[in-house]
Amino acid sequence: MSKFWERHPFWSLIIVLVIAVFIWAIFAPWPSGITDMFGRKKVFLNALFSGVTLGALYFLAASGFTLIFGLMQNVNLAHGSLYLLGGYVGYQISIATADASGNVVNYTFWWLLAFVGAFLACAIFGMFLQYAVFRRMEGDDLKQTLVTIGISIVAADLMLWYWGGDFYTIATPQWLAGPTQLPLATAVKSSGDVVFLKYPSVRLLILVAAIVIGVLMWLALNRTRVGMLVRAGVDDRDMLSASGVRIQRIFILVFAFGAGLAGIAGVVGGTFQSLAPGEDTSILLSSLVVVIVGGMGSIPGAALGALIIGLAEQFGSVYLPTYAPVLTFVIMAGVLAFRPQGLITSGR
């Protein structure tokens, strides 16, 4: 960071000013002029938190993708299918004990079990992909691309056949269904009472969970022996194998973990929004953009890229609805033009 400040003092100053203005917009009361230009502060704060929580969803999906694609150099374009499969499996588990009226006994347990089941189902599918596909096509990006595209098409048709074209939503437990009041003022009434922002509790919980998962993943890759072996195996697979390490077993486990994260993201997506055919392609595209913007093989890069893309989508839909669909691709094009390796490199 200090090197960036020394080499780019002007842009560093611009970044500091933008951050300062952003913090002021979050915590300070808005004067009438700002409200006339950008609408009520409540709209701004809702877009902000929606962007951050959407970024948490993108991070869960893209972090698994950056492990598989950016770190292990496996072009897995069936990653979106893992997301949708995890969402469907989580939905089925969450309603496993529903009665005729749709009520589920001890729904909190089954909702949490949905995350575990989705992770395991997608991890097993990921182990199959690594063992049956990528192990036989190491270093051949074109074959991996074509084969995984075919797998994603077949998987999409099978899921459409089994679950149909309906929209599914994973309900949240009762204790998470309501909003949580945050210490952020949105307006001051004429009586002097302060109105605070209320935001869905389940989104805040999943945001915290995504942060915890991201920190644990970074620690695992950079502070443990397994992480060291994974990074060493990517850099020089033959040398590591010659030292007696079963590199294929490690790669299968890492691939399974990345696929399992996509399954967890599917349950999160089914809770945030809904599950339907086509969501696999959408999340794959978003994961690609996040990894390209943040940096391939970098967990902090995936987090930063997911945050940027999530905020861009939400603020774009509120303040620039006409141009919102292309805003994320403008950001990606800018990153590719000025920093093609991504905002944060993996450091390998």
Q: What is the residue-averaged pLDDT of the chain?
A: 85
User: Which of 93, 57, 20 lies closest to 262, judged by CA?
Assistant: 57
Which helix H or strand E contains 3, and what residues bound it? helix 2-7
User: Which of 87, 124, 109 lies closest to 263, judged by CA?
Assistant: 87
- Per the model's pLDDT, the better-predicted residue between 185 and 82 turns out to be 82
Quick check: 42 pLDDT over 80?
Answer: yes
Backbone angles phi, psi at 185, to 5 degrees: -75, 135
Determine what percent of the chain is predicted with pLDDT higher than 90: 36
Determine what percent of the chain is predicted with pLDDT higher than 70: 89
- For 115-173, the pLDDT digits (tens) are 999 999 999 999 999 888 888 887 788 888 899 999 999 999 999 999 998 999 988 88
- For 47-100, the pLDDT digits (tens) are 999 999 999 999 999 988 888 877 777 888 999 999 999 999 999 998 886 655
Q: How many CB atoms lie within 10 A of CB 337?
A: 8
Domains and CATH numbers, the chain: 52-338 (1.10.3470)
- For 270-316, the pLDDT digits (tens) are 988 889 999 999 999 999 999 999 888 788 889 999 999 999 999 99
CA angle 141, 145, 148 (to 5 degrees): 135
Highest mean pLDDT among 31-45, 235-249, 252-266: 252-266
Q: What is the mean pLDDT of residues 191-207?
A: 83
Q: What is the mean pLDDT of residues 179-191?
A: 78
* pTM across the whole model: 0.89
Per-residue DSSP letter, 69: I
pLDDT, residue 348, reads 47
pLDDT, residue 321, reads 86
User: 235-244, 251-260, 321-330 — which is least confidently predicted?
Assistant: 235-244
For 8, 122, 241, the CA distances from 247, given in Å and listed in that order, are 41, 21, 6
